Amino acid sequence: MLAAVAKWRDNVIKPEENEPFLNKGRDFINDSLIENLLAVNQHPDPVRIREIMAKALELNRLELDEAAVLLNCEDEELWEEMYRTGLQIKHKVYGRRIVTFAPLYVSNYCVNNCTYCGYRAENKHIHRTQLSKEELEAEIRALVNLGHKRLIMVYGEHPKSDVDYIAETIKVAYATKEGNGEIRRVNVNAAPLKIADYKVLRDVGIGTYQVFQETYHHHTYQQVHRSIKADYRWRLYSLHRAMEAGIDDVGIGALFGLYDWKFEVMGLLAHTIDLESKFGGVGPHTISFPRLQPAVNTPFAEQSPYLVDDSTFKKLVTVIRLCVPYTGMIITARERAEVRNEVVNVGCTQLDASSNIGVGTYSQKEVDYSKQQFILGDTRTLDETIRDLAEMGWITSFCTADYRCGRTGECFMGIAKKGKIHNLCMPNAILTFKEYLLDYASPETVRAGEPLIEKELQALPNPEVRRVVREMLDRIEAGERDLFL
Ligand code: SAM
Ligand code: SF4
């Protein structure tokens, strides 16, 4: 490791901050326990599988042995039942809505050398760059003009994109307005931070902080990561530290394709269980399951022996839905449109659209592979995505109300676990969808979307809520914006 990077690492990594979270000096991923649970629960009894499905349908979080049973299911008819159960759970918790957002890559300088990532330091085929304030404003305007209200801002790990840079760029994102449009929630995907740095981001008002563990398997983790990211525990406890710092909503994830998919699903569940046990029942706000995609000059991404095919992908998404019924699940544009449509129907709750994953590429209106982290599978515009979803009966939500009303962390989980969050989600989805149709949609999308608004309005169970939403819709028609429950 270069001396300058080693110095930077010593300033970043504070192992003592993990210690309060360890269990007698050990972390919460017990590789042999997970392997053993997967081995002893092979060829599961259909009766047991159905009992576990019933437990999930009551919105109970599953235990590791129960997840192992589902993961080992060999009967395609039972898998079909699980897909249907995943969708039922989704309806029960969140209703017929999908939240949308856009990724915004802010800086692609990186000191790390993750074997699978186009942005790894050794990759000389990538054009390194970082947005200035003016460039960032241009990106935000381009996104706002598409209709986006929620962002995930993404940063490589580098002294040039330290916490102060991240905080400044978030402030610019919130401050940049265009016509009726503005960004109302900024989530972040960046490197693990120390507690003091998380507090800086809490104070600028971030939504969710996401860190993906990539692989929970200790040995594989060590093989694919070098430089700062080689510290498994610093990453594993990154979101414990974020919560300790007062960031209420955190997002976990595993990069599928690095190791055995069943092990990774068990890892995500173990992570959820540990967060819940240490933070009064509050687990991750979202779970992500990116799948390894080709990247410029990155052969590993296509050669890993653990790549996951489409049908296995649908299974793993379904098991995650059943394991943690009340948590948001994100399917990104890494996946092709057909795959996204499939997994929306087994329980995903959020997707990105019109995505560009190069630095500066929204305002330049060009796809430049030399600035991209990997290659995208779904290049539909936001308008096309929304229309396709509307034709499938899903209303697209731009809602940011929970975060702005303080319904985060414990408060959000309390409502979600009781299966009551949809009482707020559906009205807010209808209201923000209406804004989109008025301000940004093509005539075809308006034709697909308007009947859905009426249908979902009629389906709201509470007559008083229906009346209030109807009145708000009239106010939006008359020009008001940003109305929510
Ligand atoms: N540098 C930060 C970090 O590593 O935490 C930001 C993350 S990176 C820009 C966002 C995520 O992209 C990573 O956590 C990883 O899961 C995912 N990723 C990296 N290479 C990928 C690839 N070839 N295909 C799909 N996803 C990839
Ligand atoms: Fe850097 Fe993140 Fe890519 Fe690793 S995954 S090389 S840390 S940008």
SS (H, E, C) 294-316: CCCCCCHHHHCCCCCCHHHHHHH
Tell me the ligand closest to 224's alpha carbon: 2
> Do 374 and 458 share a domain, yes or no?
no
How far, in Å, is the centroid of ligand 1 from the Cα of 218?
18
Burial class, 414, CB count within 10 angstroms (exposed 0-12 / middle 13-18 / buried 19+): middle
Do 433 and 298 share a domain, yes or no? no
Q: β-strand 350-352 against 97-107: which pairing, if any?
A: parallel
Q: Report the CATH number that the domain containing residue 218 is assigned in CATH.
A: 3.20.20.70
Read off the pLDDT of residues 214-239 as tens digits, 9 standing for 90 and up: 999 999 999 999 889 999 999 999 99
201: Cβ–Cβ under 8 A, 6 or more apart, which residues?
A: 163, 166, 167, 170, 188, 193, 209, 247
Asked if the structure places residue 142 within a domain, the reply is yes
Which ligand number lies closest to the CA of residue 288?
1
Nearest ligand 1 atom, CA 295: 23
- Residue 455 contacts by C-beta under 8 Å, 6 or more apart in sequence? none
pTM: 0.96
Do strands 181-182 and 177-178 pair parallel, antiparallel, or not at all (unpaired)? antiparallel
Instruction: State pLDDT tens for residues 83-97.
Output: 999 999 999 998 899
CA atoms within 13 A on the CB side of 77: 2
Question: What distance in angstroms lies between residue 153's CA and the mean position of ligand 1's atoms?
Answer: 13
Within-domain flag for 428: yes
Please tell me the distance from the alpha carbon of residue 168 to that of residue 171, in angstroms, as a whole number: 5
Ligand 1 lined by 334 (C-beta under 6 Å): yes
> Do 339 and 375 sit in the same domain of this protein?
yes
Domain boundary among 370, 404, 438: 404
Which residues touch 80 (CB under 8 Å, ≥6 apart)? none
The alpha carbon of 263 and the centre of ligand 1 are apart by a number of angstroms equal to 19
Q: Is the distance from the beta carbon of residue 235 to the nearest atom of ligand 1 less than 6 Å?
A: no
- In this structure, the answer to whether residues 399 and 431 fall within a common structural domain is no
What pLDDT is attached to residue 180? 81
Distance CA 169, CA 338 (A): 34
Contact 398, 149 (CB under 8 A): yes
| Residue 212 counted as domain residue | yes
Q: How far apart are CA 335 and CA 86, in angstroms?
A: 19
Instruction: Please give the single-letter amino acid code of residue 412.
Output: F
Same domain? For 341 and 452 the reply is no
Q: Are residues 427 and 399 in the same domain?
A: no
Q: Does ligand 1 have an atom closer than 6 angstroms to the CB of 211? A: yes
* Whether residue 396 is found in the same domain as residue 430: no
Residues 220 and 244 in one domain: yes
Q: Find how far residue 191's CA is from the centre of its chain.
A: 15
Shared domain check, 178 and 272 = yes
Atom of ligand 1 lying closest to residue 212 CA: 14
Cβ count near 406 (within 10 Å): 10
Q: Atom 4 of ligand 2 has which residue's CA nearest to it? A: 114
Our separate counts of H helices and E strands in the chain read: 22, 11
What are 102's two structure tokens?
A: 């856009």
In a domain, 153, yes or no: yes
Quote the ligand 2 centre to 298 CA distance (angstroms). Answer: 12
Look up residue 406 and give its DSSP letter. Answer: T
Domain that holds residue 299: 18-22+90-404
Q: Is 333 part of a structural domain of the chain?
A: yes
CA dihedral 220, 226, 232, 233 (to 10 degrees): 170
Specify the residue with its C-alpha closest to ligand 1, atom 16: 255
Q: Residue 243 C-alpha to ligand 2 middle, in angstroms?
A: 23
Report mean pLDDT in 10-residue bins for the chain, 485 residues. 80 94 97 98 98 97 98 97 97 92 96 95 93 96 95 96 97 93 95 97 96 98 95 98 96 98 98 97 96 93 96 98 96 96 96 92 74 83 96 93 72 68 83 96 97 94 91 96 88
- The preferred substitution site among 151, 189, 286 for testing ligand 1, maximizing ligand atoms within 8 Å of CB, is 189
Q: Is residue 97 assigned to a domain?
A: yes
Q: Whose alpha carbon is nearest atom 11 of ligand 1?
A: 212
What DSSP element (H or E) covers 331? strand 328-331
- Total structural domains in the chain? 2
Protein residues with CB under 6 Å of any ligand 2 atom: 110, 112, 114, 117, 119-120, 156-157, 229
Pair 428, 326 in one domain: no
DSSP SS3 for 346: coil
Of 350, 380, 404, which one is at a domain's C-terminal end? 404
Ligand 1 contact, 258 CB (< 6 A): no
Nearest CA to ligand 2 atom 5: 117
Any ligand 1 atom below 6 A from CB of 104: no
Do 324 and 368 lie in one domain? The reply is: yes
Residue recorded with tokens 């990069």:
255
Q: Compute and round to an integer the Cα radius of gyration of the chain.
A: 22
In eight-state DSSP terms, residue 100 is E
Nearest ligand 2 atom to alpha carbon 225: 4
Q: How many CB atoms lie within 10 A of CB 23?
A: 11
Maximal C-alpha separation, the chain: 66
Rounded Cα–Cα distance for residues 200 and 275 (Å): 22
**Given the CA of residue 155, which atom of ligand 2 is nearest to it?**
8
Among the bound ligands, name the one nearest to the CA of residue 292. Answer: 1
Interatomic CA distance for residues 279 and 273, integer angstroms: 10
Name the residue among 397, 401, 454 with its Cα closest to residue 426: 397
Query: How many angstroms is it from 192 CA to the middle of ligand 2?
Result: 12
Q: Among 342, 373, 404, where does a domain finish?
A: 404
- Does residue 77 belong to any structural domain of this protein? no
Considering the domain boundaries, does residue 339 fall inside one? yes
Report whether 139 contacts 357 (CB < 8 A): no
Residue 389 and residue 432 in one domain: no
Report which protein residue has its CA nearest ligand 2's atom 2: 156
Alpha carbon distance 290, 79 (integer Å):
21
Pocket mutation for ligand 1, best pick of 110, 116, 117, 166 (most atoms within 8 Å of C-beta): 117
What is the C-alpha to C-alpha distance for residues 36 and 390, in angstroms, rounded to an integer? 44
Find the ligand nearest to 359 CA.
1
From the CA of 113, the nearest ligand is: 2
- DSSP-derived pairing of the beta strands 177-178 and 208-210: unpaired
